[in-house]
Structure 1
């Protein structure tokens, strides 16, 4: 069995208020790139997780990552030995761990089926996990777990992901949010929400990781029709009308900023 853990981006992210439970009320437009981590699995006598790939060392405890926790959350006839190829940077605003968990849910679903309460089980693992299970463009509200359909007129759009190789704590960025409610997401299809919305965690993230401003400045010179920070950073993305423009931008950035991580793909 083999499954891609599709990288998550936030086309727009509006934080509305701090909740009494310590979480934040938000509205976001989730979208997914057709590339990411890769999971392979086979039936075995006991669940296990093996990590490999460029960013495997970023997972502090392979026995307590979201892949292991997703396996533990799902009943099934057989145990699974999972190999995780970690291609996405950790703590990067791409939902990497959540995407990995979502891929586990799909692996189990396709072979054994999922329990009726799978959405609640996914939400207990993390706010982004329910969206990552389907990995289709959608609107997230509440803490991100209350999902609604989004007309996806951006499917197939070339996208370039860029990260300055600086991990950034989601908790610390949310804690530094200035409390300004920039209002609800605009109505309309994905393209309209992306163009008219924003990410009001960007300022707080740049204070903690000034390299984000450098990445955004570079992406705005690439010919992209939209560039923005994803989630709580530090990864930023650029959307392009043409694959040739995307490829040119990726080549130039690889030459000018070889220390930055990048990934090319298309929106699902």
Structure 2
């Protein structure tokens, strides 16, 4: 039995640029990954099978039709896989949960059989976040997010707290609500530089659809992080702290005020 973590993805910055001919927008983002997320347990089988368990398993309608099933179908291999997906990350939450699950499948198959040379193209066909989730290393993403560039990661090990008001949010709906203003490129520098000087251009659009995001950001702001922001198109928000004690204290404070708020604590990879 193999176990693989599908690391939660967050966007330390997300700049929306020009609209493309295909209807998508050019993005410039700083992908980061938390050292926690969904868990996939896999064993070799005669045919592919997928079982979903965990708090958010109910958010997946047809297990083999989700991104795990599509990732299984995207790679050549001589054997099937019987996978149990423990769904710990909320669905449609700005965390790339399905993409992270697909990335974990790629790593499982890589361990067993290796990956074909064109795996990045195969991953990109599954979704814009999937190529970055295969390696789950901090990187700059351009284009729709599939064009990856290295960045100096001076944030590895940084304590991070994620919270979500347990409200799903459609990425398409957030883009439709976005004001459409190109506010300029991603800053240059190390990951910390970009995180501090960057922004999330989708934040106000997401708040217009889900006002609870503003409350989540306010709650995090009361816990003295050195940075906080919404991830992706929401509704998950995150905060970065200097110490684990500060992060854990923030978690306890928020739990005391809002017991129904989903939380995940960890460190940046």
* TM bin (shorter chain): over 0.9
In 2, the alpha carbon distance for the partners of 1:17 and 1:58 equals 33
Q: Which residue of 2 aligns with 1:125?
A: 126
In 1, the alpha carbon distance for the partners of 2:50 and 2:176 equals 32
Q: Which residue of 1 aligns with 2:218?
A: 217
In 1, the alpha carbon distance for the partners of 2:176 and 2:148 equals 24
Unaligned runs of 5+ residues in structure 1 are none
Query: Deviation at 1:55?
Result: 0.1
Query: Deviation at 1:49?
Result: 0.7
In 2, the alpha carbon distance for the partners of 1:63 and 1:141 equals 30
Query: Deviation at 1:124?
Result: 0.1
In 1, the alpha carbon distance for the partners of 2:198 and 2:4 equals 31
Q: Which residue of 2 aligns with 1:79?
A: 80
What is the TM-score when the length of structure 2 is the normalising length? 0.99
SS at match of 2:98: helix
Q: Which residue of 2 aligns with 1:48?
A: 49
SS at match of 1:3: strand
Matches within 5 A, 1:1-268: 1-268=2-269
In 1, the alpha carbon distance for the partners of 2:182 and 2:57 equals 37
4+ runs of 1 displaced by more than 2 Å? none
In 2, the alpha carbon distance for the partners of 1:126 and 1:238 equals 26
How many residues are paired up? 268
In 1, the alpha carbon distance for the partners of 2:108 and 2:167 equals 31
In 2, the alpha carbon distance for the partners of 1:24 and 1:43 equals 40
Unaligned runs of 5+ residues in structure 2 are none
Query: Deviation at 1:63?
Result: 2.1
Q: What whole-Å deviation, never above 9, does each CA across 1:197-240 have from its counterpart, x for those lacking one?
A: 00010000000000000000110110100010000000000000
In 2, the alpha carbon distance for the partners of 1:255 and 1:234 equals 20
Query: Deviation at 1:182?
Result: 1.3
Query: Deviation at 1:266?
Result: 0.2
Q: What whole-Å deviation, never above 9, does each CA across 1:90-110 have from its counterpart, x for those lacking one?
A: 000000000000000000001
Query: Deviation at 1:22?
Result: 1.3
In 2, the alpha carbon distance for the partners of 1:24 and 1:60 equals 28
What is the TM-score when the length of structure 1 is the normalising length? 0.99
